[in-house]
Structure 1
Amino acid sequence: MRVLRYQSVELRQLRYFVVVAEERHFGRAAARLHMAQPPLSQAIRRLEASLGVELLHRTTRRVTLTDAGRAYLDRVRAILADLDDAGHEARRVAAGAVGHLTVGCVGSATYSLLPALSRHLAVELPGVDFSFRGEMLAPDQIEALRTGEIDVALLRPPVDDPTLTVIPLRSDPLMVALPAAHPLAARPTVGVADLRDEALIVHSADRRSTMYTLVLGLFRDAAVEPRIRHEVGETSTLITLVAGGLGVAVVPAPVAALALDGVTYRPLTPPSATVDLALAHRADRTEPHLTRTLSLIRSLTR
């Protein structure tokens, strides 16, 4: 019984074979491959020896494919196409052009930044599948980052978690959201002291909102006792209650992008009163598409 000993087939032999099969002539194939004809002929002979079959009929004038050669050509073309696709995909992954990411946004960023951000990312990284979660408070975002529920967070610091990387983006001034018919709406600016007797709508203390702590700190520093009437979990609810005349609220300036009828925004004095916006992700995440996304968000917020 005859036992065939197959030698390894080299990728270059496959590419040589395809060119010879297309040209049906060793001379033209060698010229197309920018090589001499004898090494090309030897490479095809070694390929046939490795397979144990004859792929080509050779005459002094032309080269034709055997039945085995035609069948082999179809499979080799498919293999080379798959290899090219694999290389292209690997380069796209390495360049951060493909992947999936979920971005969580704090309430104010949901309205002011998310629309432009989603368009910008779709243009710059069309191969990355993005999903977005809006109206997230910072504690919820931090927990979602830890569990992998979201990959990137646009949140309000502070973030006390060594497993997360926090990148400062900007400081947003504070404004007062007022019912449009409120007497304070006629003023160019509003101070904390002006809110002494006002019903106050704030983000929830139970959910450890950054804005809740900040607003109470502003009132404490101004020696004003806050009259909290409503605590809410979402910025949209907070502004809706203001529009309904149920109170006033201190909010980051980007919330003004949520333009509801019946609400007027006025700068809070002193103008040094601000709240920071930051970008956060897990420190152990270094995928190229994540790195590119972080860079794009930073450039957009600048």
Structure 2
Amino acid sequence: MFSLDSVELRHIRCFVRAAKLGNMSRAALESDLSQPAFSLRIQKLETALGVRLLHRNGRGIVPTAAGNALFQQVEPLLKALDEVLTESASLEKRSRAEVVIGIVPTMAYRVTETLSPGNLALFSSPIRIVEGFSGHLKTWLAQGDIDLAICSSISHNASVKQIPVGVEPLELVGSYFGLLSRDGVKLRELEALPLIVGSRQHSIRKRLEKTADENGVKLKTAYEVDGLDAQLRYAAKGLGFAVLPRGTISGFGYSKILKSRIIIEPLIPIHIVVASLPHIENQKPHVAQLRDELVQRVSATLSQHPLAEKIA
């Protein structure tokens, strides 16, 4: 009597292998079973279905009419099932893989403590950190080279999820400020100063020049330098002034040489976000978990400044 409840996947696998190979001994060997145990599984399937599936002859085994019909239907289904199971296992493996976080150099030092093992003790996956300017991070994120980015805000892009974490004003960084006020340097005062800035694709330079144009200020670029440490070295040697987000120099060994002043009238805010791609979060659910933790911790770090509310 037919009994669907008695049909087991392992029995079907043995039948398909036997029908495909035409040899019970070889099929048992490939299944890593003894021949009696292998034969018993096929017998149980035949009993459950109430039909004979295989017929022995002098050359081995061949499917019966019922067996051939079952083989033709079941063999592609098993193949599809194996592909699904393999993909699921691969997805689980990927979900346990490392998470790559891209950070702009100007923020790297300030969020180091946030990313320390002690703070992320409950996060089991390994974390890899890469540094890059915002433009590079946005490209790497789109290409899937990084999972999360801590960078300046990205122009409207429906495929990118951005969560604001803070606003940082730009400041002037140099070794000598002379008579410039300690309370801040007016944007118009930059006209007389030699500036050290990144190349034109860098978001900080774009933001600075856009604000200068809007206020009728003519800036003078003394050095175009791609590299934060190089910009700070040039500034430390007195070759000019770098324009960077607040707090940048605290993470470098120039704090005794370099000083900074907030650029005012107007303030020039840089909006910092944690960016991710929704489809990556679907593949790696723990990326969303880390993103939420980063948002909370980086927001707390950036809010610990008297200007935070003023420029928000």
Q: TM-score range by the shorter chain?
A: 0.5 to 0.7
Amino acid at match of 2:178: P
Residue-by-residue CA offset, 1:185-208 (whole Å, 9 max, x unaligned): 663311111221110111211xx1
Q: What are the ranges of 5 or more consecutive residues in structure 1 without an aligned counterpart?
A: 1-5, 9-49, 52-89
**Mapped pair 1:178 → 2:204:** no
What SS does the aligned partner of 1:187 have?
Answer: coil
Other structure's SS at 1:196 match: helix
Residue matched to 2:294: 297
Q: Does 1:150 pair with 2:146?
A: yes
What residue identity is the alignment partner of 1:172? E
Aligned partner of 1:25 in structure 2 is: none
2:112 maps to amino acid? L
Out of 269, 277, 297, the residue aligned to residue 274 of structure 1 is 269
Residues in 1 aligned to 2:114 and 2:250: alpha-carbon distance in whole angstroms: 12
Aligned equivalents of 1:113 and 1:279: distance in 2?
12
Aligned equivalent of 2:217: 224
Equivalences for 1:1-302 in 2 at 5 Å?
98-119=96-117, 122-125=120-123, 127-134=124-131, 136-179=132-175, 181-184=176-179, 187-205=182-200, 208-259=201-252, 260=254, 261-270=256-265, 272-285=267-280, 286=282, 287-302=284-299
Q: Which ranges in structure 2 are unaligned for 5 or more consecutive residues?
A: 1-5, 9-39, 42-88, 300-312
Distance in structure 2 (CA, Å) of the matches to 1:295 and 1:220: 37
Given that 2:114 and 2:294 are in contact with CA atoms closer than 8 Å, whether structure 1 keeps it comes out as no
CA contact (8 A) 2:113 2:119 kept: no
Local SS of the residue matching 1:112: coil
Provide closer, same or farther for how the CA distance between residues 217 and 250 of structure 1 changes in structure 2, counting only shifts above 3 A.
same
Please tell me whether the aligned partners of residues 137 and 151 of structure 2 are also in contact (alpha carbons under 8 angstroms).
Answer: yes
Q: Which runs of 4+ in 1 moved over 4 A?
A: none
Shift of the 256–272 alpha-carbon distance from structure 1 to 2, 3 Å rule, reads same
Give the counterpart letter for 1:182 in structure 2.
Answer: F
Please say if residues 184 and 190 of structure 1, whose CA atoms lie closer than 8 Å, have aligned partners that are also in contact: no
Distance 1:238 1:122 in 2: 32
Deviation at 1:103, TM superposition (A): 0.4
1:7–1:267 Cα change, 3 Å: closer
Report deviation, 1:110: 1.2
Question: In the alignment, residue 158 of structure 1 is paired with which amino acid?
Answer: I
User: C-alpha separation between the residues in 1 aligned to 2:180 and 2:271?
Assistant: 25
Instruction: Tell me how far apart the structure 2 counterparts of residues 254 and 277 of structure 1 sit (CA, whole Å).
Output: 13
Query: Contact 2:187–2:266 at 8 Å: present in 1 too?
Result: no
Normalising by structure 2, we get a TM-score of 0.61
Contact map agreement 1:173 1:272 (CA 8 A) in 2: yes
2: CA distance between counterparts of 1:120 and 1:169?
A: 21
Structure 2 distance, partners of 1:242, 1:174, is 16
Q: Structure 1 156/284 Cα, relative in aligned 2: closer, same or farther at 3 Å? A: same
- Count how many residue pairs are aligned between Structure 1 and Structure 2: 211
2: distance between equivalents of 1:198 and 1:292? 45
Deviation at 1:270, TM superposition (A): 3.1
State the Cα distance separating 1:165 from its structure 2 match.
1.5
Q: Partners in 2 of 1:271 and 1:220 — Cα distance?
A: 12
Cα 1:292–1:241 change in 2 (3 A) is same
User: 2 CA distance for matches of 1:270 and 1:186?
Assistant: 13
* RMSD (Å), alpha carbons: 2.8
Q: Compute the TM-score of the two structures, normalised by the length of structure 1.
A: 0.62
